[in-house]
A and B are shown apart, each in its own frame.
Chain A
Amino acid sequence: MDIVALSRLQFASTTIFHYFFVPVSIGLALIIAIMETMYVRKGDEEYKRMAQFWGKLFLINFAVGVVTGILQEFQFGMNWSDYSRFVGDVFGAPLAIEALLAFFLESTFIGLWIFGWDKVSKRIHLLSIWMVAIGTMLSAFWILAANSFMQHPVGFAINNGRAEMNDFFALITNGQLIVEFPHTVLAAYATGAFLITGISAYKLLKKQDVSFFKKSFKIAAIVGIISSIGVAVAGHAQAQYLVETQPMKMAASEGLWGKSGDPAPWTVWANIDPENKVSSGEFKIPYLLSFLSYSKFSGEVKGMNELQAEYEQKYGPGNYIPPVRTTFWSFRIMVAAGTAMIFLGMYAMFLMWRKKMDQPNTWFMRFMFWGLLLPPIANTAGWVMTEFGRQPWTVFGLMQTKDSVSPNITSGQVLFSVISFTVIYAILGAILVGLFIKVIKKGPYNMDNDHDHGSSHDPYNKEGSHAFS
């Protein structure tokens, strides 16, 4: 494989992996902050336990999220140095601000939260977790500001052969960011919520610590349903913006080669043949694409062939069609997972409203357990659609992926890093899952039992070597 393909593979795989943990951190931080707030306000120890138990999972997850994030800060320069040179003037700023504003906040207050249970007052401790929650959200804002520039570049001019920022305010009020930020952050809240309802459902099925997990389930289910519906609303806004700014991505995500016709139907599935530029065996819902694109039941959407011709006129010869199958199916997977989340959340609300949480259906709780996988599937599919759909561009209309890569690295070096990061990430992932299972099995009231290896009865007391002392 060439350097571009290998670098793309590395960026995609490390970023997707990183993004399994980021939304969990954002979501759990908020819900734990809510739980601890209830503890401080009501004085009920059970809420404290909740913050601590879910906090345990949160911290394991947070650690993996943090370390896989360091790589993100470096790999623009490592693998995409020509990209960094071209856009650094604009793109570097949100990254630097993210570190200064969000990373410091998160990392300092997470330390206070972990080690501060007995050292600071209840209120300061509560403040710490809220600071972490706010920090994770701010972090999302700034990195999405950077990503939005890649989707829809604004606030810059081409000077000295590169993109130079000339309007910072435009950068942070980018229309893309205004729709992308709520969509992404609400999806993250849903991710944390469905993780908690999923684990709680499992424990309720086992009839372990029923009161504890019923309360946890309820809090998370409320967060889950609000954010799932919010994600859909924000997603709708994003689709409308997409038609305006990146119509090619929209057309690809519909497998639409020719014009859609007016009103435009939404394709549920299709057999796409990118070689011959045809889609067949389509199943369509009338009016729906018009509604998704324009919030009304009329209006035409441009197809890829027409856009390709337009782009050739505008940007010169080349292939401007992204990987159609990937874009098409990732969009559908995201929508399907998101819809399932809304249905699960609504049914949970129904049970809570009818006060039937004491005897929930076994099948429903099983669904809720497996439901914890829905948000990560939707998140991943959503990003795959967004980033694959932008191809062949790194910055839409300005710079292509093939021109972005570092010219001074070799494919051997990148192969080495791809393999190294894949191996270490696979190990991290396996350990994280193992530790999650262990913590969940132990439950909230046995958390500290395995930790009492004091010095006096430590069988490994003698193994310490002290060559220097």
Chain B
Amino acid sequence: MLSLNELWFVLIAVLFIGFFFLEGFDFGVGMETQFLAKNDTERRVLINSIGPFWDANEVWLLTGAGAMFAAFPEWYATLFSGFYIPFVFALLALIARGVAFEFRGKRDSLAWRRTWDACIFFGSFLPPFLLAVVFASFIKGLPIDADMQMYAGFTDIVNVYTVVAGITVVMLCLVHGLMFTTLRTVGDLQVRARKLAQKLLLPLGALLLTFVIMTYFMTDVFEVRGTLLLIVVILGIIAYVLGGYFMTNKKDGWAFGMTGAVMALSVASIFIGLFPRVMISSIDQAFNLTITNAASGHYSLKVMTIVALTLLPFVLGYQIWSYFIFHKRVHEKEHLEY
């Protein structure tokens, strides 16, 4: 039987997996607008393909952070204060991106649209990069002292390992986003999206492999959870290969499922490697933040469990329903501006 601390660790993992799976593709689509779209209309089609969804997808991140605050306040406090500057940049990017979707079509001027397009691009590129850097440094270890305070220098956060993680996740978002595009568009745009995804599949594979190898040598996660991680890696390889197979056979829905599976497994592997720790101290093992010493009290966790388990089915229900309503592809000829 799962303890409440374990359950909340799992729930937070699920929220972040959900976030990377969902916002992952809309980050990808946001990046695509700069090189897949040939003209303004195509760019508009791409933006509209994620239009009804991106905001709700981002709420997965907010809920993840909120759940962390409620269930593991020490984790929340150490994480957000320790990564102060990366979060400032992530916030600036998310702020610019969010308003860009709304503002972009509001004035008929080339400079205006180009400005917001740039915001959409950087706003879709920076957050997944920075969040991947943060998550990778969780398992690599951070200078956390006996008081759970993290005093990180630049290279504690930005180093070869975390940057590879960042680039990998950005690439993964991009391929995942391209597959989403094949599901929501028609004609030439759809064909180009599929082709580009196929082209990027090999570099993505190389990046993923590099990251796994680096993780094996630079972290302790394979020592701690070797068997389970090995299974995840094998499942990841299967999903990756199947993804490539489905792309070639134009089974876009299945291929999208597989890129999503690779994303989900990647995020899951970080959490599996961490468990039962939530942040690893590079100073002393005794200073690790764990699901025990970082957690809220039993009463608080119990209340939150009841609330979360009551609400989650509804949330999932209407979110899936909204995807069902907007399952039709976006055509160039339809009403595009809102």
A and B part of one assembly: yes
- Find out whether the CB atom of A464 lies under 8 angstroms from the CB atom of B39: yes
Instruction: Tell me the bound Cα distance from A119 to B329 in angstroms.
Output: 12
Cβ of B338 and Cβ of A73 under 8 Å apart?
Answer: no
Q: Is the CB of B311 within 8 A of A100?
A: yes
CA distance A417 to B34 in the complex (A): 28
Given the known A-B contacts A77-B80, A81-B80, A406-B81, are A96 and B87 also in contact in the complex, defined by CB atoms under 8 Å?
Answer: no
Is A295 part of the binding interface, using a Cβ–Cβ cutoff of 8 Å? Answer: no
Contact B51 A96 (CB under 8 A): no
Among A62, A103, A164, A468, which residue has its beta carbon within 8 angstroms of that of B62? Answer: A103
Query: Would you give the 0/1 interface string for B81-99, flagging 1 where the beta carbon is closer than 8 Å to chain A?
Result: 1101101100110111011
Q: Which residues of B contact A373 (CB under 8 A)?
A: none
Interface assignment of B216: CB less than 8 Å from any CB of chain A: no
B315 and A76 contact, CB distance less than 8 A: no
Task: Say which residue of A104, A109, A406 sits within 8 Å of B63 (CB atoms).
Answer: A104
A408–B144 alpha-carbon span in the complex (Å): 10
A66 to B59, CA, bound (A): 10
The answer on a CB contact under 8 Å between B66 and A435 is no
* B223 interface hit (Cβ, 8 Å): no
Say yes or no: A107 contacts B55, CB within 8 Å: yes
User: With A115-B51, A408-B81 given, is the CB distance from A63 to B102 under 8 Å?
Assistant: yes
Cβ contact within 8 Å between A111 and B91: no
Asked if A461 CB lies within 8 Å of chain B CBs, one says yes
Within the complex, which residue of B96, B303, B311 is in contact with A424, where a contact is CB–CB below 8 Å?
B96
Give the residue name and chain of the A residue nearest to B200 (CB).
Answer: A468
A451 touches B (CB below 8 Å): yes
Q: How far is the CA of A75 from the CA of B91 in the complex (A)?
A: 10
Contact present for B335 and A118 (CB under 8 Å): yes
- CB-CB under 8 A from B108, the residues of chain A are 450-451, 453
Task: Say which one of A86-94, A200-208, A233-241, A350-358 lies at the interface with B.
Answer: A86-94
Docked-complex contact B59 and A107, CB < 8 angstroms: yes
Q: Does A108 contact B (CB under 8 A)?
A: yes
Do A100 and B38 touch (CB < 8 A)? no
Are A108 and B84 interface neighbours, CB within 8 A? Answer: no
B87 near A463: Cβ-Cβ < 8 Å: no
Interface: A466 (CB within 8 A): yes
Query: By the criterion CB–CB under 8 Å, are A469 and B77 in contact?
Result: no
A160 to B292, CA, bound (A): 13
Counting CB contacts under 8 A, is B248 at the interface?
no
- Output the nearest chain A residue to B35 by Cβ-Cβ distance: A468
How far is it, in angstroms, between the C-alpha of A439 and the C-alpha of B337 when the chains are bound? 14
Distance between A148 CB and nearest chain B CB, rounded to angstroms? 17
B94 engages A82 (CB within 8 Å)? no
Question: In the assembled complex, which residues on chain B have CB atoms less than 8 Å from the CB atom of A67?
Answer: 94-95, 98-99
CB of B52 within 8 A of chain A?
yes
The answer to whether B76 and A89 touch across the interface, beta carbons within 8 angstroms, is no
Query: In the complex, are the beta carbons of A96 and B70 less than 8 A apart?
Result: yes
Quick one: given A70-B62, A96-B70, are A424 and B92 in contact (CB under 8 Å)? yes
Which of A91, A119, A438 is the one whose CB lies under 8 Å from B326? A119
Given A112-B322, A159-B297, A413-B85, verify A407-B73 contact (CB < 8 Å): no
- Distance between Cα atoms of A465 and B121 in the complex (Å): 14
Contact between chains at B41 and A458 (CB < 8 Å): yes
Instruction: Write out the residue numbers on chain A whose beta carbons fall within 8 Å of the beta carbon of B241.
Output: none
Also in contact, A451 and B69, with CB within 8 A (given A77-B76, A424-B92, A461-B39):
no
Any B CB within 8 A of the CB of A85: yes
* Chain B residues with CB below 8 A from A448, complex form: 337
With both beta carbons as reference points, the residue of chain B lying nearest to A101 in the complex is identified as B311
CB pair A73 B39 closer than 8 Å: no
Contact B319 A108 (CB under 8 A): yes
Contact segment of B191-199, B228-236, B259-267: B191-199
The residues of A that contact B4 with a CB separation of less than 8 Å are: none
Shortest Cβ gap from B184 to chain A (Å): 12
Nearest-neighbor residue (CB-CB) of B302 within chain A? A168
Q: Which residues of A contact B132 (CB under 8 A)?
A: none
B70–A95 contact, CB under 8 A?
A: yes
> Which A residues lie within 8 Å of B308 (CB)?
96, 100
Complex Cα gap A318–B58 (Å): 44
Complex CA–CA separation, A463 to B110 (angstroms): 11
Minimum Cβ distance to chain B for residue A149 (Å): 13
- Shortest distance from the beta carbon of A250 to any chain B beta carbon, whole Å: 31
Chain B residues within 8 Å of A70, by CB: 58, 62, 91, 94-95, 98
Contact of B63 with A114 in the complex, beta carbons under 8 Å: no
Selected contact of A93 from candidates B51, B81, B303, CB within 8 Å = B303
Contact between B300 and A81 (Cβ–Cβ < 8 Å)?
no
Say yes or no: A461 contacts B40, CB within 8 Å: yes
Q: Do B299 and A92 touch (CB < 8 A)?
A: no
Query: Which A residues lie within 8 Å of B318 (CB)?
Result: 104-105, 108-109
| Residue A243 lies at the interface, judged by CB distance under 8 Å to chain B | no
A380 to B251, CA, bound (A): 54
A455 to B99, CA, bound (A): 24
Which residues of B have CB within 8 Å of A60? 102-103, 106
CB contacts (< 8 Å) of B85 on chain A: these are 413, 416-417
User: Inside 8 A of B150's CB, which chain A residues have their CB?
Assistant: 408
Cβ–Cβ contact B69 & A88, under 8 A? yes
**Once the chains bind, are A103 and B59 in contact (CB under 8 Å)?**
yes
- Tell yes or no: A42 within 8 A of B by CB: no
In the complex, the chain B residue whose C-beta lies closest to that of A164 is B297
- The answer to whether A95 and B92 touch (CB under 8 A), given A89-B297, A111-B52, A460-B39, is no
Q: Chain A's nearest CB lies how many Å from the CB of B317?
A: 10
The residue in chain B whose Cβ has the minimal distance to the Cβ of A78 is B80
Given contacts A77-B76, A88-B70, A408-B151, A468 and B95 within 8 Å (CB-CB): no
Q: Which B-chain residue is minimally distant from A463 (CB atoms)?
A: B39
Q: Pick the residue among B105, B299, B326 that contacts A165 (CB under 8 A).
A: B299
Residues of B within 8 A of A (CB): 34-43, 48, 51-53, 55-56, 58-59, 62-63, 65-71, 73-74, 76-82, 84-85, 87-88, 91-92, 94-96, 98-99, 101-103, 105-108, 110, 148-151, 192, 195-196, 199, 296-297, 299-300, 303-304, 307-308, 311-312, 315, 318-319, 322, 325-326, 328, 332-333, 335-338
CB-defined A-B contacts under 8 Å, sample of 23: A60-B102, A67-B99, A68-B95, A73-B62, A79-B81, A81-B78, A84-B69, A85-B74, A88-B74, A92-B76, A96-B304, A99-B59, A101-B311, A107-B55, A111-B51, A111-B56, A406-B84, A409-B84, A417-B84, A455-B41, A455-B332, A458-B40, A463-B39
A-B contact sample (18 more), CB < 8 A, given A63-B98, A424-B95: A67-B99, A70-B98, A77-B81, A84-B80, A89-B297, A89-B300, A93-B300, A96-B69, A96-B304, A110-B55, A111-B322, A115-B52, A420-B88, A424-B96, A435-B107, A455-B40, A464-B40, A468-B196
The 3 A-B residue pairs with the shortest CB-CB distance, nearest first, are A88-B73, A77-B80, A92-B70
